């Protein structure tokens, strides 16, 4: 064998060894089903923040760990001196302090301090005057069911803004790819899923807003809306937004909706108003947008892959 061929062979062998050593062992984190007083289901995850463990709502549509300041002991996090204020996805307006803390879940610790928001006051956003915080109400995700949210939206940190997905700070890049199995029977979040598991998913690239584009069609009312597909575990319903909707309201029970995201296709069946599984709602919005909520996710697993800038779907 020539010395050049030996060098090529050795280089390839070392490269393969490096890939193998870099491969993370999958870590399965149990999730928990919690219900509001109105029997609305939510997914929770146990997270250690500094010195205290809290069960937070799993929210795939927003980034960052946000928790009521009153829920944290003084030594759990350190204030940065910055104020955080802005609208939150469920129609709330949050104001609080930016803090940093170490986090851990399922035995995995962050390898650096994680930026979090300690929420000090809650109001309704200007566009949602009848939100859960109206007239002194207590939102499910900030006080009624959970003390805060664990935002898993797949987005990079933006300078000057709080906050980024806390999974990205886990040691060994363990949280740079994760798989959500939301089925209420045994919900889980798998960190660093193995290649064989990932290969079962149909993956599509995400846009600059961290979501892929897709379409939903309801033949019964000649509806077809194409836009970003948002996966939102904080919503119970599948929502269709359109500036000029052909239908508004809950679709009748049994209505079929066909979802397409790249080559992936899925049929959803509306359960009608009050059904926690597959309630499909069409309403007016400022842009075309499809939100896949927790009901539909009972039959769909979702893969989030930051390093490859993609999302994957698998029908169950």
H or E element: which one contains 11?
helix 3-22
Q: Six-digit token pair at 47?
A: 């997270």
Q: Do domains 27-193 and 197-315 have the same CATH topology?
A: yes
197-315 has which fold? Cathepsin D, subunit A; domain 1 (2.40.70)
Q: Which of 86-90, 91-95, 208-212 has the lowest mean pLDDT?
A: 86-90
pLDDT value of position 154: 86
Kindly list the domain boundaries of the chain, sorted by start residue.
27-193, 197-315
Q: How would residue 279 be classed by pLDDT, with cut points 50, 70 and 90?
A: confident
Of 223, 226, 229, 225, the C-alpha closest to 202 is 229
Distances (CA, A) of 88 to 60, 63, 124: 13, 10, 9
Q: Is the pLDDT of residue 29 over 70?
A: yes
State the pLDDT at residue 15: 38
Cα(194)–Cα(196) distance, integer angstroms = 6
The CATH number of 27-193, from 2.40.70.10, 2.30.30.140, 3.90.580.10, 3.40.190.10, is: 2.40.70.10
pTM listed for this prediction: 0.88
% of the chain residues with pLDDT over 70? 89
DSSP assignment of 130-179: TSTTGGG---GGGTTS-SEEEEE------TT-----GGGGBGGGTTSEEE
Q: Tell me, what's the pLDDT at 20?
A: 35
* Residue 55 β-bridge partners: 46
Which of 205, 203, 185 lies closest to 195 in space, CA to CA? 203
* Weakest-pLDDT range from 58-62, 277-281, 297-301: 277-281
Residue scoring higher pLDDT (277 or 314): 314
Q: Show the tokens assigned to 210.
A: 């961290």
**Under 8 Å between Cβ of 289 and 211:** no
3-state helix, strand, coil in the chain (%, to 5): 15, 45, 40
Mean of pLDDT values over 280-297: 94
Element (H, E) at 13: helix 3-22
Distance CA 149, CA 57 (A): 5
Q: Report the alpha-carbon distance of residue 103 to residue 85 in Å, rounded.
A: 23
Q: Over the chain, what is the mean pLDDT?
A: 88
C-alpha–C-alpha distance, residues 153 and 262, integer Å = 20
* pLDDT of 271 above 70: yes
- Across the range 170-196, mean pLDDT stands at 96
pLDDT of 121 > 90? The answer is yes
Mean pLDDT of 87-92: 85
């Amino acid at each position: 064998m020539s010395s050049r061929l030996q060098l090529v062979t050795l280089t390839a062998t070392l490269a393969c060894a490096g890939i193998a050593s870099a491969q993370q062992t999958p870590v399965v984190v149990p999730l928990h089903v919690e219900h509001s007083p109105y029997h609305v289901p939510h997914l929770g995850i146990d997270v250690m923040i500094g010195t205290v463990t809290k069960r937070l709502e799993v929210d795939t549509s927003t980034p960052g760990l946000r928790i009521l300041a009153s829920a944290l002991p003084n030594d759990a996090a350190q204030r940065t001196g910055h104020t955080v204020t802005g609208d939150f996805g469920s129609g709330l307006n949050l104001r609080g302090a930016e803090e940093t803390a170490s986090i851990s879940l399922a035995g995995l610790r962050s390898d650096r301090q994680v930026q979090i928001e300690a929420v000090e006051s809650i109001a309704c956003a200007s566009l949602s005057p009848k939100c859960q915080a109206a007239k002194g109400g207590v939102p499910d995700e900030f006080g009624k069911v959970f003390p805060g949210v664990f935002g898993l939206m797949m987005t990079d940190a933006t300078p000057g803004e709080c906050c980024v997905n806390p999974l990205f700070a886990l040691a060994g890049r363990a949280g740079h790819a994760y798989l959500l199995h939301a089925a209420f029977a045994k919900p889980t979040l798998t960190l660093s899923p193995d290649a064989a598991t990932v290969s079962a998913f149909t993956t599509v690239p995400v846009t600059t807003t961290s979501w892929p584009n897709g379409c939903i069609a309801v033949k019964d009312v000649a509806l077809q809306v194409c836009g970003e597909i948002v996966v939102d575990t904080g919503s119970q319903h599948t929502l269709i937004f359109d500036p000029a909707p052909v239908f508004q309201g809950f679709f009748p029970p049994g209505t079929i909706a066909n979802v397409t995201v790249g080559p992936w296709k899925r049929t959803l069946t509306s359960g009608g108003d009050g059904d926690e599984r597959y309630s499909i709602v069409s309403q007016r919005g400022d842009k075309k947008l499809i939100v896949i909520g927790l009901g539909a996710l009972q039959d769909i697993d979702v893969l989030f892959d930051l390093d490859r800038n993609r999302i994957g779907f698998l029908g169950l």
